[in-house]
Structure 1
Amino acid sequence: MKQGLRSLLLVSLFALNAHSQSNSTYSVGFNAFSYLQLPRIADQDPLKYITSKFNGGIFKIDDRQINYRLSGRFLNQSLDFKSDCTNCNLVNGKVTDYAIKLGFEKNLNYSKVRPYFAFDIGYRYNRFKGLRNFIDLQRTTALTDQMEAIKSGFTLGPTMGLRITPIEQISIFAEGSLELYLSHLRTQTVAQNTAAQSIETAENKKEFLFTPVTVGLQIHLGSRN
């Protein structure tokens, strides 16, 4: 009895894998939802995460062994937060962040529920522009600076994901990634007073940025037949 059940299970798994072999030659997709960590701004909490919807897409050339992928992301939204310092605040700011990456993807099996590993390299640009308020001991605004911080540079890192293919032409995916961001930072602050003193600094930065989850949809096109 046990031997028969084992044989039936093996046959079922084989049939599932065989049915799930992709015949598509390329895929296009989009990110429906992301929960991600942005590059650090000034004295911002380095664990700051934001949510973003419909912020990117992917084009993938499908292969039996290794898939090649080109992905991009763009977001432009308001960002308000308190920094770590005891007497300052960043408010009423807007962040623009985009990246374009090229990489590969390796499927770990060929079933309808398919885990995969990916590695991407590319370019990332991040710009924050807003007002920095310095708060005195009486908890009132003593000074306000206008601040612009721009980072641009090289990004690389691994991704682990899971893709579910209910029908051959459509897949739903969820993935998480860890990114090493090597950037050049340029910061300009302008005091909002009669002197309007401007200060500009520049330095190189290294950050590890975590995107716990990105969920999206892929459509498989073309045929090898």
Structure 2
Amino acid sequence: MRYILLTLLLCFGAGQLSAQVTRIDTVDYPAIVVPKKKRYHFNTDYWYTIAVRTYAYEQFPQLLNQPSGQPFHTSYFNGLLFKINDNQISYRLQAAHFNNDIEFDNECEGCFPKVTGKLQNTAVKVGAEKNLNYSRFQPYFGADLGFMVQKFSTKGFENSPVFAEDNKNALLFSPFVGAKLYIVPRIAVSAEANFNIAYTYQKVNNYSDHSFTGAPNQTKRYRWEYFFGPVAAVTLQYSFGILNQ
């Protein structure tokens, strides 16, 4: 009898154990989801860019007997920029014109310490820039080659003690660094600083009276000059022509 009871007990225990075992191929698991690569929808890749120079704070080549360390001049909305872009380098063409009345120190023996007159400076440059990344905020660097024409005249300034015209032409090499920020797709704000290395030809005409008539005393000279633009240009840029369809 006891063998029968022992057999029944073993069968009951085996049944309980088999009831707790679940076949792995009968269990339902949630489907494995692999997250998709996040796409960047803020496109900054365009073929062309046009820009307006809205602000600049910069130096110009030396005037008359101006001491070293030329003063800085401020200008607004006086330049244009055009760029052709690719995946690596942007090629650029720009022009700027400064036209304003200025006053500066004039260091020479027997000269008055201050000179007042009108300064006109026109610069045209071609160059290339390289972006460090292609995100919404893009630091960049590059260099420009250009030509500058400058004229300073005291004509029409009755309070100017120096009666002269200063004409200067210059070949320029201008390395620069900058950064631009896309406010919305296609529209960006950019700011850059440059350092200018110039080979200049200067012709100064000094007149004996304020009428700018008669034969002037004339001075001509060639020289190397260096001047700085801590804010060479703040530009508002518009880009068009999608580079990567």
TM-score with structure 2 setting the length? 0.75
Among candidates 41, 46, 51, match of residue 24 of structure 1: 46
Question: Does 2:201 match 1:177?
Answer: no
2:97 aligned with 1:79, yes or no? no
The 1:193–1:28 alpha-carbon spacing in structure 2 relative to 1, beyond 3 Å, is closer
Provide the C-alpha distance between the structure 1 equivalents of 2:223 and 2:59, rounded to a whole number of angstroms: 16
Describe the SS at the equivalent of 2:198.
strand
Equivalent residue letter for 1:94: K
1:155 Cα deviation from its structure 2 partner: 0.5
**C-alpha separation in 2, matches of 1:58 and 1:91:** 33
Instruction: Please tell me whether Structure 1 or Structure 2 has the larger radius of gyration of its CA atoms.
Output: 2
For the structure 1 residues 168 and 15, does the alpha-carbon distance in structure 2 shift closer, same or farther, using more than 3 Å as the test? farther
Instruction: Read off the aligned partner of 2:239 and give its amino acid letter.
Output: H
Residue 114, structure 1, aligned to residue 138, structure 2:
yes
Q: Give, in whole Å, the separation in 2 of the partners of 1:182 and 1:191.
A: 30
Which of 159, 169, 183 lines up with 1:166 in the alignment? 183
Q: Distance in 1 between matches of 2:168 and 2:38?
A: 50
Q: Which residue of 1 aligns with 2:63?
A: 41
Judge conservation of contact 2:44–2:135 (CA < 8 Å) in 1: no
TM-score using structure 1 length? 0.82
Structural mapping, 1:113-152, within 5 Å:
113-130=137-154, 144-152=161-169
User: Aligned pair count?
Assistant: 203
**Matches of 1:31 and 1:93, distance apart in 2:** 25
CA distance in 2, matches of 1:193, 1:50: 26
Report the equivalent of 1:222. 241
**Whole-angstrom CA distance in 2 between matches of 1:89 and 1:46:** 15
Unaligned stretches of 5+ in structure 2? 1-36
Deviates more, 1:40-49 or 1:73-82: 40-49
Please state how far the C-alpha of 1:118 moved relative to its aligned partner: 1.5
- Deviation, 1:124, is 0.6
1:160 and 1:146, CA in 2 relative to 1: closer, same or farther beyond 3 A? same
The match for 1:53 is 76
How far the C-alpha of 1:71 sits from its partner, in A, is 0.7
Compare 74-83 and 168-177 and name the one that shifted more: 74-83
Give the Cα–Cα distance (whole angstroms) in 1 for the partners of residues 47 and 82 of structure 2.
Answer: 11
Distance across 1 between alignment mates of 2:42 and 2:58: 31
2:44–2:136 Cα contact (<8 Å) kept? no
**Partner of 1:191: helix, strand, or coil?**
coil
Match of 2:190, SS state, is strand
Q: Which range moves more in the overlay, 80-89 or 70-79?
A: 80-89
Runs of 5+ consecutive residues of structure 1 not aligned to the other structure: 1-13, 134-140
Aligned to 1:202: 220
CA displacement at 1:25 relative to structure 2: 0.9
Residue 63 of structure 1 pairs with residue 86 of structure 2: yes
Q: Distance in 2 between matches of 1:68 and 1:21?
A: 20
What aligned pairs does 1:6-21 form with structure 2 within 5 A after superposition?
18-21=40-43
